[in-house]
Chains A and B, each alone.
Chain A
Amino acid sequence: MEITGAQALIKSLEHEGVEVVFGLPGGAILPVYDPILDSPIRHILVRHEQGAGHMAEGYALATGRPGVAMVTSGPGATNIVTPIANAHMDSTPLVVVTGQVARAAIGTDAFQECDITGITMGITKHNFLVTSASEIPRAIAAAFHLATTGRPGPVLVDLPKDVAQSTMEWWYPAGVEELDLPGYRPLAGVDEAALERAAALLATSERPVLYVGGGVLKARAHEQLRAFAERTRIPVVTTLMARGAFPDSHELALGMPGMHGTYAAVTAIQRADLLIAVGTRFDDRVTGRVSAFAPGAKVIHVDIDAAEINKIRHAEVALRADAAGALGALEEMGAAPANLDVWWKEIRTWQESYPLTYDPPAEAGPLRPQQVIESIHAASPEGTVVAAGVGQHQMWASQFWRFEEPGTWINSGGAGTMGFGVPAAIGAKVGRPERTVWCIDGDGCFQMTAQELTTARAEGIPIKVAILNNAYLGMVRQWQEMFYEERYSEVYLNADLPDYVKWAEAMGCVGLRARTPDEMRAAIEEANAITDVPVVVDFRTDTSEKVFPMVAAGASNDDIMVHPSQRGRA
């Protein structure tokens, strides 16, 4: 059957089981937008290409399936560079199709030409410039294979316009061996000798900690993790990327480690004699000063990416394996430390002395951001999906929401991309329409990508957005307060400009505002009751509120600063 390259592209996406594409058309990708009309694939028309990328990420993080975005050449392609970089940092499976100028025009500085494969070389797992229509099926099949196997990540396929317009005899690769990837061999299997050494370290450990990262979610290893933790009774810390991999309500859960982690999680790692690091990369936001990180601990490092082993911290035992395989194998061996009662007694005193806390709000307001998050959590259905932007609100959401299952926390970790929240929440809602989806956002973040609420309204994607409006770029303000002698430089945003309620209404959403605890409860109730259109709530929060605990950048985790009300406690 002879079809066009454009038809082959859409057919290839159908072959890969794609149900939704987030995108925005333009000159070079025009041919591909014609066969979309005849395809069962749902296309969601965004208002800015960055929105398409973050929506695809939100979809991927909520469902575990690869997100797909499609944009045109030149500025369309450069606008999606930030989501690609974000997905690369957070190992999110993404397939991005970009239009390109016709082959004959490549290299001539043609209209809307840019070297997007060159630009994204360092921020994709791999990318392709397709040079003939007959290669389209292989490129798409390879893109999905690369994006979803091994350590997942974004893959970009650049498609020149004339290739989309030319014809090919339809075919599709029958299997991996037809993908022509001689250099791609994702790890498989667990090294038995390393396993035995890991078991030996476990057997002699008195103060072990399971340091769990996003790789556990990517490998869908949460059940293996839970079985292993429950049998061994090893305390579990879940990094920002791993929230939801282990239930926060579980007695073995210590919460998040790192710069804004719980005192118990941070301190347990510092005092540990053994870290079982699973699918995690010793990020600087977790380790603080590396030389002072977990100084007494030996390390068992499980990672699917061999380059992560020994990158930051030497591992006594390296298990180059998928988290599910490694945890399953450890579980099968029955490896376990002896009695951990003494260790747990110590951890419980830290939990009791230094729980997450905040000062109670005044009845007249302003609101406490932490209280807003706790109230939304309490009033929303079980299994609500939470997306966040980047900053103080993100840390509070991670701290004060209670995550119980995978795919319920959608956030930008490694890249720290402000504006991620709204489009990511939209993508998550598209992937899991039966769930309530709240975006916990900051006023700074909201202004970066809020236009996608127009998309949400037009496409019937009823997300809810909580703006924790403190009138500031709050995290920067916090650092200027604490480390720059309260010299506030370019951080004031003004709580009333823009008028968030009117802005929401202009985009076809319901806009609400809450200044006091009573108004807050009413607004949350009203927002949760609206299920047909997006809702935006402008919560007026206390400007001076800061995120605690905190470890200053570059400091040792031993120098953790707890909430002011807890200082001086034993």
Chain B
Amino acid sequence: MSPEPFLGDVEHSPVRHHILSVLVENKAGVLARVAGLFARRGFNIYSLAVAPAESHERFSRITIVVDAETAPLEQVFGQLHKLVNVVEISDIAPDDAVEREVLLATIPTDVDNRTSLLDVIGAANASIVDVDAHHVTVMLAATPAGCDALERALEAHPGVELHRTGRVAVPRLGVPTHEPMRSR
């Protein structure tokens, strides 16, 4: 793990959010079921990341950051659990979470901006992952706040193309996770 980037964990996103780690069956249409549920119940998704689960090809893990203002957690839990393909839900409060996301950005470069750009990349602990005569692509795996900070810094460069993955999270070691609710 690389050292914490500048602005690291200090600045929190202004949205009151909550992180749900949802283990689902890896079947066609399951993401649509989860996303559709959020849409029709009026719960706002702040970010969402999906990947095959660690242990088993039968399952996938969806990490959903929800806007807690629009989505009373108990309701989100209860409604999500009613989806037959949802196997387990853990809920991680932002303060108890180790959160990371990946940012990829391609920035046009020339002699005028190269130095300042390298400063920003260095300060953010980002890495250069691709380069040609006129562009550089940088990558940062960091906290959402760290990615926010780099994004703001890069916005100064015209023509930047930037992608973020949405965050994944695990509980901080030593913090008990909430008991997964098992009901419908």
A185:B182 contact, CB within 8 angstroms: yes
B182:A305 contact, CB within 8 angstroms: no
A555 to B10, CA, bound (A): 48
A118:B32 contact, CB within 8 angstroms: yes
A305:B184 contact, CB within 8 angstroms: yes
A126 to B184, CA, bound (A): 13
A306 to B80, CA, bound (A): 11
Is B28 located at the chain interface by the 8 A CB criterion? yes
B75:A126 contact, CB within 8 angstroms: no
A307:B32 contact, CB within 8 angstroms: no
B86:A183 contact, CB within 8 angstroms: yes
A308 to B184, CA, bound (A): 10
Is B183 located at the chain interface by the 8 A CB criterion? yes
- Seen from chain A, the residues whose Cβ lies within 8 Å of a Cβ on chain B are 117-118, 121-122, 125-126, 129, 146, 150-151, 181-187, 305-311, 320
Which residues of chain A are near B182, meaning CB under 8 Å? 185
Which residues of chain A are near B78, meaning CB under 8 Å? 305-309, 311
* Chain B interface bracket (under 10, 10 to 19, 20 to 34, 35 or more): 20 to 34
Is B24 located at the chain interface by the 8 A CB criterion? yes
B82:A182 contact, CB within 8 angstroms: no
Which residues of chain B are near A305, meaning CB under 8 Å? 78, 82, 184
Chain A's nearest CB lies how many Å from the CB of B178? 15
- Residue among A117, A187, A306 with the most chain B CB within 10 A? A306
A184:B75 contact, CB within 8 angstroms: no
Is B81 located at the chain interface by the 8 A CB criterion? yes
B 27-75 contacts with A by CB, 8 A: 28-29, 32-33, 36-37, 40, 58, 72, 74-75
Which residues of chain B are near A150, meaning CB under 8 Å? 184
Which residues of chain A are near B184, meaning CB under 8 Å? 150-151, 184-187, 305-307
A183:B25 contact, CB within 8 angstroms: yes
A121:B75 contact, CB within 8 angstroms: no
B75:A311 contact, CB within 8 angstroms: yes
- Seen from chain B, the residues whose Cβ lies within 8 Å of a Cβ on chain A are 24-25, 28-29, 32-33, 36-37, 40, 58, 72, 74-75, 77-79, 81-88, 181-184
A122-B40, A309-B78 as given contacts; A183 in contact with B183, CB under 8 Å: no
Name the residue on B nearest A183 (C-beta).
Answer: B87
Chain A's nearest CB lies how many Å from the CB of B54? 16
B75:A307 contact, CB within 8 angstroms: yes
- Residue among B40, B84, B86 with the most chain A CB within 10 A? B84
A183 to B81, CA, bound (A): 8
Which residues of chain B are near A129, meaning CB under 8 Å? 28-29
- Residue among A181, A182, A305, A309 with the most chain B CB within 10 A? A182
B25:A121 contact, CB within 8 angstroms: no
A461 to B51, CA, bound (A): 54
Instruction: Tell me whether chain A's interface is mostly helix, strand or loop, or mixed.
Output: loop
A187 to B33, CA, bound (A): 22
Which 3 pairs show the lowest CB-CB distances between chains A and B?
A: A307-B78, A306-B183, A183-B87
Which residues of chain A are near B82, meaning CB under 8 Å? 125, 305, 307
Chain A's nearest CB lies how many Å from the CB of B76? 9
Which residues of chain A are near B72, meaning CB under 8 Å? 310
Which residues of chain B are near A126, meaning CB under 8 Å? 84
B36:A184 contact, CB within 8 angstroms: no
Which residues of chain B are near A185, meaning CB under 8 Å? 182-184
Between-chain CB contacts (< 8 Å), 14 pairs: A118-B32, A122-B40, A181-B84, A183-B24, A183-B25, A183-B83, A183-B86, A183-B88, A185-B184, A305-B82, A306-B81, A307-B78, A307-B79, A307-B81
Name the residue on A nearest B88 (C-beta).
Answer: A183
A181 to B58, CA, bound (A): 12
Chain B's nearest CB lies how many Å from the CB of A320? 6
A310 to B88, CA, bound (A): 21
A121-B29, A307-B79, A307-B81 provided; 9 other pairs, C-beta below 8 A?
A121-B36, A129-B29, A183-B24, A183-B83, A184-B184, A186-B184, A305-B184, A307-B184, A320-B183
Chain A's nearest CB lies how many Å from the CB of B102? 29
Which residues of chain A are near B81, meaning CB under 8 Å? 306-307
Name the residue on A nearest B183 (C-beta).
Answer: A306
Q: Which one of A183, A308, A310, A311 lies within 8 Å of B85 (CB-CB)?
A: A183
A121:B28 contact, CB within 8 angstroms: no
B29:A187 contact, CB within 8 angstroms: no
A129-B28, A183-B85, A307-B81 as given contacts; A121 in contact with B33, CB under 8 Å: yes
A97 to B43, CA, bound (A): 31
Which residues of chain A are near B24, meaning CB under 8 Å? 183
A121 to B88, CA, bound (A): 20
A118-B32, A121-B32, A311-B75 as given contacts; A182 in contact with B25, CB under 8 Å: yes
A125:B32 contact, CB within 8 angstroms: no
Which residues of chain A are near B25, meaning CB under 8 Å? 182-183
Which residues of chain B are near A309, meaning CB under 8 Å? 74, 78
B79:A117 contact, CB within 8 angstroms: no
A125 to B85, CA, bound (A): 11
Which residues of chain B are near A308, meaning CB under 8 Å? 78
B181:A306 contact, CB within 8 angstroms: yes
A187:B86 contact, CB within 8 angstroms: no
